[in-house]
Chain A
Amino acid sequence: MSTEQAIKTYREGARITDVDTLVVKGLSVYYETESGTVKAVDDVSFTLKQGERFALVGESGSGKTTLAMALMRLTRPPGHIAKGSIILNNRDLTTLSEEEMRRARLSELALVPQGAMNSLNPVMRIEKQIIDGIVDHLDDDETVTKDQLRETVRDLLTRVGLRPDVARMFPHELSGGMKQRVAMAIGISLRPKLIIADEPTSALDVVVQRQIMQTLGRLQEGLDASIMLVGHDMGLVAQFADTIGVMYAGKLVEVGPVEEVFSDPKHPYTKLLIQSLPSLQEKKDFVGIPGLPPLLIHLPQGCAFEDRCPSRFEKCPIAVPEMRGVGNRREVACYLYEDEDAS
């Protein structure tokens, strides 16, 4: 099975320390609409250690990107962070003022967007787009010369594997992969401790995807930063991440080390998700997950996956299952594991 192959390529020598870089507790992002409250992200909690690669997976509309944007505090109205805390390096981002939060962006946590699309300003040279982020984070008494900035840009571009003369180019003169590299150069320009990569390889071809992910991993290790990868490409996630979080209908339903989750998925949704992956080794029919996710505006009283779940029982529709520990560093929100010892 492709998943087994993927686990074999799981990286060695990951330098994960016991320092909590990011602690998210009960984070909820709600959209207030005329027909009611849409719970795009509901009561999500997880922790990222320094140097850890955490991948957030789930189908479209499950709240992955909303969660990523909420961590940057870039949720736009009518959406808002309704509850919870985002503790980055022992500082709660939800309590910061707008100006403090602005300064934290890029310098403490950086977003690497889907750079292959149009996340770069079309009328500005690459150089200028790297520099402006640096300049806007200088302290009042700090000064940098143009030459120093040029040198920084040259260095950053080289580190992401681009020629230094890309600095003088405009975004439309670059290929998708090159734009993605520029997006990474911007992301690491102030040596953040957390990199949020929101589907950094979508719209790129498979060969470029691999190169981009390798570069991203190298950069992250160089900075001793943690990374949160948002994506729906399970194969990519399996090769890249240390830990995986599965989202369904705005909730985190399973978290655990990537190899364990792939070899022994606990939540019925995770099981079906992994079964649905195509395999290189054997020829078989694609297996989908029957049914559709619930509307986030009319969430059922009980488990959101209940009506699609093959292992549902009488307890499921009554109340939302809580996340509970099942084994080493593993958590799952499912009543099937209620009686297991949370050792």
Chain B
Amino acid sequence: MIEQTQAVQDSSTSITSSVFRILLAVFGNFVVRRFFFFLFVVWLASTVIFIIPRLSGQDPVKEKLLLEAQRGGAIQQGLDAMAKSYQKRFGLDLPIWVQYGNFLSDLARLDLGTSIAFFPRTVNDIVFESLIWTLGLIGTVTIIAFTLGTLAGAVLGWPRRPGWVQYLFLPLLTLAAVPQYLLGMILIFVFAFSLGWLPLFGGYEPATLPNLSFDFIIDVLRHAILPAFAILFSVIGFWAIGMRGMMINAQGEDYMIQADAKGLKGARIFMRYAVRNALLPQVTGLALVLGTIITGQVLVERVFSYPGIGDILFQAIRLSDFFVIRGIVIVIIIGIAGATFLLDVLYPLIDPRIRVKN
């Protein structure tokens, strides 16, 4: 790099060399490099999403109208004209390069288009509204499950744990293997249907409008309990098993033997030596899972008719609402790429070995 800089300085004017140096400074920065990589991933994936439906040869508008026509009876008159006008409305009559340009510029402004099934509502509205519910429920549950599961796994993988702790392992393993929707249905049957303690479905009472009053918040929490536990039980086991494995691995490391030989207190060896090192892969896992929670838990949200993004995705697929599906997929891509970006930027803070020196 130094040689290059010097070569440039020798052969060019001072302007080009300073431009070069600024570029080097900007792109040499690890965070900036990772951010551009993030943008690149989003662009690439979006392009694939743009191309693939067009390869299918199907026309989302026409499909939709035909479906409606079949439902509504045999009125086929003016269907083509209607399709044309809708295609004009969605810009589908333009040459493909113009469409691609429009798509990218819309994406850059984070405009995901208009829903076909709920016309004229925008995809942004629909996705944003449901995303709040999903992030609120699944985001919170994921963080709680990660914390509890990692803690349980850490204790389970610690040779000097109290004896009774080992009895936790089998239930955790079993719960991790039960599908969440099945657990959800059992919970609904027992606590909502049979006992009637908690509501059967939805994110809040159907007759109310979302607001920030105390009663409404309590109502939301009551609705969230069953889906939260349906996810929590299985996900805790997932984190616990991973952490337990990493803890057992750490026991064999030389620095663990040395920590004992140094006569350190048990609590310090546990936290600062064993857990601290075993946690590293767990954090990677958490970042990747956080990227995918945007997908929602389609099955769980379906079982509980929870107004999250998973439920919206299900409905959009059923109604072949192409633009909503596309919008949700793009949000998922941004979520995963964003989580990877954050992980890249934050991971060096917890693992000094991968700190990049500029």
A-side interface residues toward B, CB under 8 Å? Answer: 72, 74, 102-107, 110-111, 113-114, 117-124, 132-133, 136-137, 170, 172, 183, 186
Contacts and interface: CB of A to CB of B under 8 A. Distances in A.
B264 A133 contact: yes
Contact of A172 (B260, B350, B353): B353
B254 A106 contact: no
Interface of B: 253-255, 257-265, 268, 272-273, 276-277, 280, 350-353
Which of B255, B276, B280, B353 has the most chain A CB atoms closer than 10 A to its own CB? Answer: B255
A105 B258 contact: no
Nearest to A113: B258
Given A106-B261, A136-B264, A123 B254 contact: no
Which of B253, B262, B276 has the most chain A CB atoms closer than 10 A to its own CB? Answer: B262
Contact of A132 (B254, B257, B261, B262): B262
B254 A118 contact: yes
Nearest to A106: B263
Contacts of A186: 262
A175 to B, nearest CB: 15
A327 B272 CA distance: 52
A110 B273 contact: no
A74 B257 CA distance: 8
A121 B275 CA distance: 12
Contact of A102 (B253, B265, B273, B351): B265
The SS class assigned to the B binding surface is: helix
B260 A74 contact: yes
A86 to B, nearest CB: 15
Given A124-B272, A172-B352, A118 B263 contact: no
B353 A170 contact: yes
Given A117-B254, A119-B258, A121-B277, 14 more contacts: A106-B262, A106-B263, A111-B261, A119-B255, A121-B273, A122-B277, A122-B351, A122-B353, A123-B280, A132-B262, A136-B263, A137-B263, A170-B353, A183-B258
Contacts, number: 75
B257 A121 contact: no
15 contacts: A74-B257, A102-B264, A102-B265, A106-B262, A107-B263, A118-B254, A121-B255, A121-B259, A121-B277, A123-B280, A123-B350, A133-B264, A136-B263, A170-B352, A172-B352
Given A111-B258, A122-B353, A123-B352, A132 B263 contact: no
B261 A118 contact: no
Contacts of B264: 102, 132-133, 136
Nearest to B351: A123
B158 to A, nearest CB: 14
A227 to B, nearest CB: 15
A128 B297 CA distance: 43
Given A74-B257, A121-B255, A104 B263 contact: yes
B277 A123 contact: yes
A136 B267 CA distance: 11
B350 A119 contact: no
Contacts of B260: 72, 74, 105
A106 B261 CA distance: 7
A198 B290 CA distance: 45
B261 A120 contact: no
A113 B263 contact: no
A15 to B, nearest CB: 26
A74 B258 CA distance: 10
Contacts of A74: 257, 260-261
Nearest to A120: B255
A110 to B, nearest CB: 7
Contact of A122 (B255, B261, B262): B255
Nearest to A117: B254
A89 B260 CA distance: 21
A106 B262 CA distance: 5
Nearest to A133: B262
A120 B273 CA distance: 10
B353 A105 contact: no
A121 to B, nearest CB: 5
Please name the 8 residue pairs, one residue from A and one from B, whose CB atoms are nearest each other, closest first: A105-B263, A111-B261, A133-B262, A119-B254, A106-B263, A119-B258, A170-B352, A121-B255
Nearest to A107: B263
B62 to A, nearest CB: 59
Given A124-B272, A132-B268, A132-B272, A119 B257 contact: yes
Which of B257, B268, B277 has the most chain A CB atoms closer than 10 A to its own CB? Answer: B257
A114 B257 CA distance: 11
Contacts of A113: 254, 257-258, 261
Contacts of B262: 105-106, 132-133, 136, 186
